[in-house]
Structure 1
């Protein structure tokens, strides 16, 4: 999601951890709040200039925390993965929601979030400059799947949890990216249904009592 004028600031790095410096975290929170403020005006696109103006910080301060607008988009979506994943853990551990319903709710929250933040994400998953950002996004999704879904269910003996998580995360993000670019004509609800139906049947089964009590 690069715009003209931003290229000179672009970095290939992806932030792998959040600084423990409270001042740094305060600045990051200002940026996240600014993103929400900018998106509340329903723009057709989002730029670094929009964000720094809303946050009341300089461009150099922004780039001290995020190497690019794409990197920021990945971090925003990663936080959404974490939120959905934590809910999924609670749903499945307490056996509150059957497996298929939990998957539908999880994918539904993800698609709703992407729709609400579409200007931020619309080019982040399709430009050639964002391969490292995309890879980081998939890896984050893999981590959440393994924490919230795969390891809480009975994984078949002949299935490698990391491999199936990578397959699901990569496939889901590729499908969502194609949908965002208009290559797939589906409603939001139909996209969620397809994402759920494409999951392995053993993931959609409710965890056994023995599993949930571990």
Structure 2
């Protein structure tokens, strides 16, 4: 018999609630004429108002949580494959990012009109930059000497976010996802993504 306090099982309800909210956002993004609001998300998800606000302070907080979690998942995918196949890992990471945005494009386009504070933009940029920094570190000594890794990661993240924001805002479906991926890869330093 082990000593100490017995461990409690993790309550799966918070994760289910967040998943329901995220699924509702994805569903609403497919139907942009419905509009994006907390009420629409609640109707679509079946989550109560108190359940929503137990997780998020509002739509801007939901946006930040969704995007930063996606960035972290994408960074983990990249990091796992970046040493063996940096060019392939970079392409897969950009494809995953563009697909995430494409699936939620109406929601993200609507979010550009929200009165979201600069703090939200900083948090989203920092989350992206953390993944880029991990990618730089994973490449070992491939980075040119004398470059501050945090500066480079922030610079790359900020530029990518600006490109993606323009794509979201313009709503230009004539630019296919594969072309956007190619454009994102074209501006990344070759030492980071390897040749290919």
Please, what TM-score do these two structures have when normalized by structure 2? 0.80
Rounded to whole Å, the distance in 2 between the matches of 1:183 and 1:58 is 32
Match of 2:7 in 1: none
Secondary structure, aligned partner of 2:36 = coil
Rounded to whole Å, the distance in 1 between the matches of 2:180 and 2:50 is 39
Are the counterparts in 2 of residues 124 and 130 from structure 1 also a CA contact under 8 Å?
no
Moved more, 124-133 or 75-84: 124-133
Please, what TM-score do these two structures have when normalized by structure 1? 0.74
Match of 1:112 in 2: 99
Secondary structure, aligned partner of 1:122 = helix
Are the counterparts in 2 of residues 34 and 51 from structure 1 also a CA contact under 8 Å?
yes
Q: 1:167 aligns with which of 145, 155, 171?
A: 155
Rounded to whole Å, the distance in 2 between the matches of 1:183 and 1:119 is 9
**Deviation of the 1:46 alpha carbon:** 2.3
Rounded to whole Å, the distance in 1 between the matches of 2:111 and 2:185 is 24
Match of 1:72 in 2: 62
Rounded to whole Å, the distance in 2 between the matches of 1:183 and 1:24 is 33
Moved more, 163-172 or 108-117: 108-117
Q: 2:20 aligns with which of 24, 30, 42?
A: 30
Point out where structure 2 has 5 or more consecutive residues left out of the alignment.
1-9
Are the counterparts in 2 of residues 100 and 196 from structure 1 also a CA contact under 8 Å?
no
**Deviation of the 1:163 alpha carbon:** 0.5
CA-based RMSD: 2.5
Q: 2:169 aligns with which of 158, 181, 194?
A: 181
Rounded to whole Å, the distance in 2 between the matches of 1:124 and 1:130 is 12
Note the 1:12-27 alignment, pairs <5 A.
24-27=14-17
Q: Does 1:103 align with 2:90?
A: yes
Are the counterparts in 2 of residues 84 and 106 from structure 1 also a CA contact under 8 Å?
yes
Note the 1:3-18 alignment, pairs <5 A.
none
